[in-house]
Amino acid sequence: MKSLLQRIETQIASRLQEPLSPLLVNQTKQALKQHHIADIPQDYLNFLRSYNGLHYQDAWLCGIFAKHDCINDILDLNIRISHPLAQDTILLGFDEFDFLGYSQKWNIYQIIDKDDFEVLEEYQDLEQALNYILKMEA
């Protein structure tokens, strides 16, 4: 993950996000639970401590924001999209064609087609999934 963070730092000039607060994380996790949406994986939360929401080329990685009206707010995205398997899968980001999701049932990151929710790719590791959705070379 350290190498991915270094590549992001060199390729993306600025961090255009709010700092991640523990209170906001807890509030968001509660709201996800109330909406019967899967929890945020711990390694993605660790990533959010460095980059709370990220836009690169045509990809957006969701963050946790005080106002849930951002295009890449994790709570807003998951409520709006209403993934058919939301109790098991949380959406963490997207590009023009796909979603980046995490399946708690299988403990795996997934690239999910936006049109039919078909799983196109699966990754055990967050870094590999982020490389795919951000189109960054490892």
- Mean confidence (pLDDT) of the chain: 87
Determine the pLDDT at residue 71.
80
pLDDT tens digits, one per residue of 76-89: 999 999 778 778 99
Lowest mean pLDDT among 5-9, 11-15, 112-116, 130-134: 11-15
* Structural domain range at position 66: 2-134
Identify which has the larger pLDDT, 74 or 55. Answer: 74
pLDDT of 9 above 70: no
CATH number at residue 102: 3.40.1580.10
Summarize the confidence of residues 90-119 as an average pLDDT: 96
Determine the pLDDT at residue 114.
94
Determine the pLDDT at residue 1.
55
pLDDT of 90 above 50: yes
Write the CA distances from 6 to 3, 77, 82, 90, integer angstroms.
Answer: 5, 27, 33, 26
Report pTM. 0.88
Euclidean distance between CA atoms 2 and 18, whole angstroms: 21
Structure-block tokens of residue 16: 């255009």
What is the torsional sign of CA 75, 80, 81, 87? positive
Structurally, how many domains does the chain consist of? Answer: 1
